[in-house]
Amino acid sequence: MLQLFEALGKRLKEGIVTNAFLPGEQLFVRELAEQLGTSTTPVVHAVLRLSQEGLVTVFPRKGTFVADLREEDIRRLFEAREGVEKHAAALAAIRVTPEHIDELRSILAHWSDLRSSLSDGVPSTNARALFEADSQFHLRVVELAGNAYMNDMYRKIDAHVWAFTRKTLSRYHADVQEVAHQGHLRIVDALARRDADAASDAVRAHIWDVHVQYARLMHPGAEAEADPPLDAPETPPVSVSPAERRPRVPAGAAGSSRH
């Protein structure tokens, strides 16, 4: 049963981070169960897990909605990412081995190959493998810290970063990825030198350099701004009519038995 919950949760998360389910959209448990070929019980458990990760929001007597990150949420997301990843990088610099460095460089080589195959402005759906390789690199850096708690926290943050990236980067932007590339190289170089301070600084600089690029894409001509006012109005949840709803759960092996 636990494996079923995890499989369903993975497929629903996939639908969120790839924008198959749009930010603010209402999720209907019964319909999801029908699409997934299971009963509502495991779907409810999967949705509750996603709510704990902050990917969906449950409003009592209203329903469950895909979380929609506002600009202040995005900055706080990057603050959380910095808080975990820079400390993880410092620990990784102490514990890393030459084999680990080779592994990280191999991931970046694959990332570079994928990047060279893309043209500026192509739809980001064609660049999915590139984003996955980027995520794999950062997750591996955090794993090398050897701290399971950091690893768990970062995986939750990474899911939000994925969702935000897919929402913001509707197309591949070569200049953004060049900034990311330079940051990746500085991180690996610091880790290879086993310099904890430099690794932490490289991660911090990389995160905020990328944040500036995202801000530029969201607001052309503007640099990253300070936190917006906390009283900024919330975007109301979007409820999709039955006629507009369609199956969008990504295919996967969740099993067809009903539990």
pLDDT at 41: 87
Cβ atoms of 64 and 29 within 8 Å: the answer is yes
What is the residue type of 147?
N
Provide the sign of the torsion angle of the four alpha carbons 155, 160, 39, 48, taken in this order: positive
Cβ atoms of 165 and 74 within 8 Å: the answer is no
How far is Cα 64 from Cα 25, in angstroms, rounded to an integer?
Answer: 8
Q: In this predicted model, what pLDDT tens digit does every residue of 91-144 receive, in sequence order?
A: 999 999 999 999 999 999 999 998 888 888 777 666 778 888 999 999 999 999
**Is-above-0.85 flag for pTM?**
no
Q: Which of 164, 250, 141, 162 lies closest to 214, judged by CA? A: 164
**Domain spans, the chain:** 1-68+235-259, 71-218
* CA-derived radius of gyration, the chain: 19
Cβ atoms of 243 and 8 within 8 Å: the answer is no
71-218 CATH, one of 1.20.120.530, 3.20.20.60, 1.10.287.110, 3.40.309.10: 1.20.120.530
Contacts of 39 (CB under 8 A, 6+ apart): 33, 258, 259
Q: In this predicted model, what pLDDT tens digit does every residue of 10-43 receive, in sequence order?
A: 788 777 766 678 778 888 888 888 888 888 888 8
Identify which has the larger pLDDT, 16 or 233. Answer: 16
Q: Which of 107, 79, 190, 88 lies closest to 148, judged by CA? A: 88
| N- to C-terminal Cα separation, the chain | 8
Q: Is CATH 3.30.300.30 the right assignment for the domain spanning 1-68+235-259?
A: no
Q: Which of 82, 3, 78 lies closest to 46, judged by CA? A: 3
Poorest-pLDDT segment among 13-17, 176-180, 215-219, 255-259: 255-259
